Structure 1
Amino acid sequence: MYRIDTPNTDEDFEHYFHFRWEMLRKPWNYPQGSEKDEYEAVAEHRVVKDAKGNIVAIGRVHMNTAEEAQIRHIAVSPSAQGKGLGKLILSALENVARDQGAIRLVTNSREISIHFFQACGFEIESEAPAELGQLKRQQMVKRLTDVNKILLHPQWCNELQKTWHDTIPISEQMGIKLHQYTGNTFETRASLNKNINLHGTMFAGSIFSLATLTGWGMIFLKLKEKGLMGEIVLGDGDIHYHKPITMQPRALCNIESIDGKFDRLTRGSKCRIKLQVDILDGDNPVAEFKGIYWVLPEQAKSD
């Protein structure tokens, strides 16, 4: 399972910059130290870590002006590529930029990264100065609005949101909304104001509900992608709380955490799906939910 983290200590930054150098400078025979620039102290840095705490992806954002933020140094370990981690780190940096008031996001992309940024809503605006004096780059721009999201299969995402509101009305009262779906990562968010307790933090029960619905929603979308149908029910759920939520409740389910055989439905059998949902307060991990869901084939509903 992967999680977003923010480097804070000297040791954190040492690992962070070493990873950046290995991914983005070492292949071009540049010495350590060349991976840093004058914006490090005023930038926001994010990393993705695996279950063992190893850094597998990084990225940085800093403000150029009061309204423009620049994305730089996104890198994903070769061993973790193809799992949606680039989009995950970019989404975290975009959220930082929004929070700081940016309405325009820019990046200078190498040729090999243009398709990635285009898939995330960026457009080529002009040619940018070459990187390291030899790598051709294009300046790409994304204009931020309240509705900018990464939504794969938006029709299914809208159907899921409507299903929640129609069949689980409390989800609407809690302000639970689908935020993004990349095919690999599913994210939901909830309103803190609608779930706040007398301590000014989110109710533990609301956190549990957010987690279970997120796992349910991930399975719903995967069934759609596989052309399968079935009734999704929660069999068992276990959650561990580490910190209270005081700002922005978020829930993330990554495809890497899913364990189960969906194809059992094609044989008329129920399938058992195990997954994990990470709960965050902004970018800070605060809880983990592990759930077991059952998907019942259509004919089994009345059994």
Structure 2
Amino acid sequence: MYKVETPQSDEEFEKYFAFRWFMLRKPWNFPLGSEKDEYEQVGIHRMVLDAEGEVIAIGRLHFNTPEEAQLRHIAVHPDHHGKGLGKLIVAALESVARTEGIERIVTNSRELSTPFFKSCGFEVVGEATTELGQLKREQMVKKLTELNTVLLHPRWCKELQDTWYETIPISEQMGIKIYRFTGRTLEVRASLNKNINLHGTMFAGSIFSLATLTGWGMLFLMLKEKNLTGEIVLGDADIHYHKPITSQPRAVCNIESVSGKFELLAKKRKKPFTLRVDIHDGQNPVAEFKGVYWILPPAEVKEDESVE
């Protein structure tokens, strides 16, 4: 499972900038040092490390005005393309921008990167100045509205959100909402005020419901991506609580935690899927949920309904 880190030590920043130079400056024969600019001290830096502690993805955010932030230096090592790491970095930086009340994010994209940023919700608004004096770039912008918090497949996410509210009305009363979906990570949040007990913390039952729906939602979206259909039901679950939630309830499910064979569903066979959902209070981990879900193919659903 990949995790976005913030470089802290001199050694970590040295690796971070070395990777930026290697990916974004060396191919154009620019010297060491050319990878840095005047925003490094005030920028928001993020990176992803592999199992050996080597940098494999990076990105930076800085603020142009109180309303506008700018993304720069997004890069992923070629050996790790196709794993969603670029979107993971963008999502982490976008989250910072939202926390700071930013209304829009801009980026100047090379032509090869434009499809990637479009998949993250950015739109081309014009031409930008050339980079390094030779690379044509396009200016792109993303307005930070509640709807486009979802980075990938917003229509599917809206369908999932509507399904929850229509079939489980209490989920809307609990303030359960999809916060982001990157294709590899689903994050769902709930309102603490709507789920608070007499101790000023979140009800344990509400935490369990949040985790259950998040796991269910991840399978729902994975079925969409694989062009499959089926009825998802919770078979078994186990949750461990470590600390109470006192501020921001967050449930996160990563695709690496999902285990099951989707190919058997295409053969109209029901299969169990196991997954893990991590519960956080803000940035602090407070509970772990492990669930076993069954996905029933459409033919079996109809057969069961006829028996009833």
Residue 65 to residue 224, structure 1, CA distance change in 2 (3 Å):
closer
Tell me, yes or no, if the aligned pair for 1:92 and 1:283 is still in contact at 8 Å: no
Residue 153 to residue 25, structure 1, CA distance change in 2 (3 Å):
closer
Per-residue deviation, 1:144: 2.5
Over residues 136-188 of structure 1, what are the superposed CA-to-partner deviations in whole Å (9 max), with x where a residue is unaligned? 22222222323223365545433322332344344223211123334443222
Corresponding residue for residue 176 of structure 2: 176
- Report the residue type matching 2:228 in the other structure: G
- Report the residue type matching 2:211 in the other structure: A
- Report the residue type matching 1:228 in the other structure: T
Where relative contact order (Cα < 8 A, 6+ residues apart) is larger, the structure is 1
Question: Residues 60-75 of structure 1: matches in 2 within 5 Å?
Answer: 60-75=60-75
Residues matched between the structures, number: 302
Per-residue deviation, 1:220: 1.6
Distance in 1, Cα, partners of 2:247 & 2:48: 21
Residue 211 to residue 3, structure 1, CA distance change in 2 (3 Å):
farther
Residue 67 to residue 154, structure 1, CA distance change in 2 (3 Å):
closer
Distance in 2, Cα, partners of 1:20 & 1:79: 15
Residue 112 to residue 97, structure 1, CA distance change in 2 (3 Å):
same
Distance in 2, Cα, partners of 1:96 & 1:175: 22
Over residues 171-219 of structure 1, what are the superposed CA-to-partner deviations in whole Å (9 max), with x where a residue is unaligned? 2232111233344432222123333456655455544432221111111
Cα RMSD of the aligned pairs, angstroms, is 3.1
Distance in 2, Cα, partners of 1:176 & 1:126: 37
Q: Secondary structure at the match of 1:40?
A: coil
Corresponding residue for residue 232 of structure 2: 231
Residue 155 to residue 280, structure 1, CA distance change in 2 (3 Å):
same
Residue 203 to residue 48, structure 1, CA distance change in 2 (3 Å):
farther
TM-score normalized by the length of structure 1: 0.83
**In the alignment, is residue 217 of structure 1 matched against residue 217 of structure 2?**
yes
Gap regions ≥5 residues in structure 2? none
Residue 51 to residue 279, structure 1, CA distance change in 2 (3 Å):
farther
Per-residue deviation, 1:86: 1.6
Q: Secondary structure at the match of 1:101?
A: coil
- Report the residue type matching 1:161 in the other structure: Q
Gap regions ≥5 residues in structure 1? none
TM-score normalized by the length of structure 2: 0.82
